[in-house]
Structure 1
Amino acid sequence: MKQITFAPRHHQLTNINTWTPDSQWLVFDVRPSGASFTGATIERVNVETGEVETIYTATQGAHVGVVTVHPTEEKYVFIHGPQNPDERWQYDFHHRQGVIVQNARASNLDALDITEPYTPGALRGGSHVHVFSPDGDKVSFTYNDHVLHERDPGLDLRNVGVAVPFGPVTPAGNHPREYAGSHWCVLVSRTTPAPAPGSDEINRAYEEGWVGNGRLAFIGDTLALSGEKVPELFIVDLPTDEQGWKQAGEAPLAGTPDMMPSPPAGVQQRRLTFTHSRRYPGLVSVPRHWVRSNPQGTEIAFLMRDDAGVVQLWLIAAEGGEPRQLTHNATDIQSAFNWHPSGAALGFVLENRLALCDSATGAIVFLTDDNPTHQPSADAVVFSPDGKKIAWMAPAAGFRQLWLANTGR
């Protein structure tokens, strides 16, 4: 175990894809906490030498954060807040965008069009946590809608979207806050403000993860017959060609003044878990986690309580079926998790230590001690692409620093 950043400031890792493809650099932002959004730079640190480089610096009062890396290129994507924010337009869930930086050049990922007629392929609000697909061709994100938020914040439901390289998309620019984007963007989840209790309807789609290159899994909030919120696991199959991404279904891709943007034709979400009758129903919200598929795209991992109420790691086939409880720990898993690039293990925080879990047997090997002054953050536990190292955040001298351990794999 070694500390790799030492500057007297905070360092924030995203929950996945924080390494450059050569496993030499970790990318991060400098938010003072995961909940705030006041950092001005995207940076990277060499894990061998400790050298720090700035990838991007925001200007005109904007802030940036939540950076991830392309799987095979030195290409970075992150959240960018509004430039020249004012009382009517400042950073919020529905006021943010994705920006890609490659070779020191920045470009907007998603276009924005908030005036009728809305532009297909553009968004009408804010995108968040941008993650490249395993082949680097597409980018997933979560989304909130400015148009519906202005009408009634209760209609601005969190959804999941995908950006594909079939742009550029250039709105007419009828509002000073509109802009063009390099990618064609659509939503792929379907939500409704009032799900029918006991049904597969959801009012929130979030914490998505790629399943191979052609599917996305995510958490969707259903309602039990009692009216209680129960987060369940869902999956969508994505279009396979440009025509499929651009073909509207029964509702407009760009939405209407009364309706959220709709998925392309043929994109249907399918429910994978049915936990309403369990003693502890639903995927857990604490710790916050993102559902993750193994590299082979055959199994999806998520966190759920066992019958004793302990947060455990569970696996389910991407095609569906009964979930399999992988871990049988005495205490809760404490963090988000990720798969080792081989698919043979997963990493997370357990008993205030970094743990490596065998994906077949659930056997646990600890990679760090239980020093209470260096307790790992729950936000991110991320393997290097070569599988030899694992990174996380922990405090040191009053600041959140980046730490590293060898996996032995």
Structure 2
Amino acid sequence: MDLATTAALIMLIGTVFFLIIGTPISISVGISSFAAMLVILPYQGATVTSAQRIFVGLDSFALLAIPFFILAGNIMNSGGIALKLINFSKIISGFFPGSLAQTNIVSNMLFGAISGSGVASAAAVGGIMSPIAQKEGYDPKFSAAVNIASAPTGMLIPPSNTLIVYATVAGSVSVSALFMAGYLPGILWGTSVMIIAGWFAKKRGYITKHHMTFSECIKVSFSAIPSLSLIVVVIGGILAGIFTATEASAIAVMYSLLLSFCYRTLTLKQLPDILLQTAKMSAIVIFMLAASSIMSWVMAFTQIPGMIANMLLALTDNPILILFIINIILLIVGTFMDPTPAVLIFTPIFLPICINLGMSPIQFGIMLVFNLSLGTITPPVGPILFTGCKVSNISIDQVIKALLPFFAAIFFVLLLVTYIPSISLFLPDVMGLIK
């Protein structure tokens, strides 16, 4: 066995071992990658190279967008913006079967499009909608399933921190192009959940007990315009070339802060806690990026992506089957690994394979994030699954059965995204973002 193969085995086995014993992912990756590097290089060379890779991995202006978007999401989660969006969602979804469930879905899509966080959407929107749905006679398991199934749409509909991480790892992939590419898949995800929710609502007789009058609709719309304008300001500014995605993240913080103060739902006393939570969340993501930079170097040196590509090609040379196998692997990975480290680890492995199959790096990024977003609502890890169950006061085993039809619909959309490139590439191409 040569040194490269030995190093690859040490890194892979070490990472799995540390994860099994409960070591945080970033530390597991860092220690295992450094141990693998010691096989390839002398101790001093491995130490210097590891330090260099950490700094090179974090030397990206685009990464500044991550803490800013996290801060903007935390401000919005505490600033009462979710309630404004829920009221506005009633106008859009009020006439569909199971209007409360549909309102929950639309609200998650809107809040996710503003905050970029599926967990924040599940907590903020679900926390408000759950008691209302119970009073209206909705089955708590059904309501929780609807909230959980629709919350990850914010990880695809921009701004999305996961897409920013992917753009950093993938190299020459435009964040703006990825943002636009996420719209249609995210909307299709939400639409599929709405169809399933509407079918069950009609079957169970969940009817709307109160329709908003025209004057109420006008009042609610005007009240929600400032919140909805954040989407126009951030995405419109990026597309118009007024500012970059990183600069847009800082503008999102200032806008959400001023808006929350104007709504009088946020006080100065709350800011220290919000800043502390943002710092903790940002540190986790940044440290993962630093550790994964060492792993990326080891994988490139040991040619792990090439070995995996050869293994897949040994099974079949059919592009349709290869993409299906990659999807299954990513779905399994997503069930026990958070999206950010999964993007860092598996992008260097699968991106070259998909490019060789003729897939655009933009489409692959959306397919990757779509898979990993689905993992956030599946056990055993599933952060959105746990959050949705917590705010609905319901156990995971109770909600899993109710989630199965939604899983099937979302998986069907995933296949569409995988095999129909235009779903991801149409908007970036129209906007002139694909060169």
Alignment TM-score, normalising by the size of structure 2: 0.22
More strand by share: 1
More helix by share: 2
Q: Which one has the largest radius of gyration?
A: 2
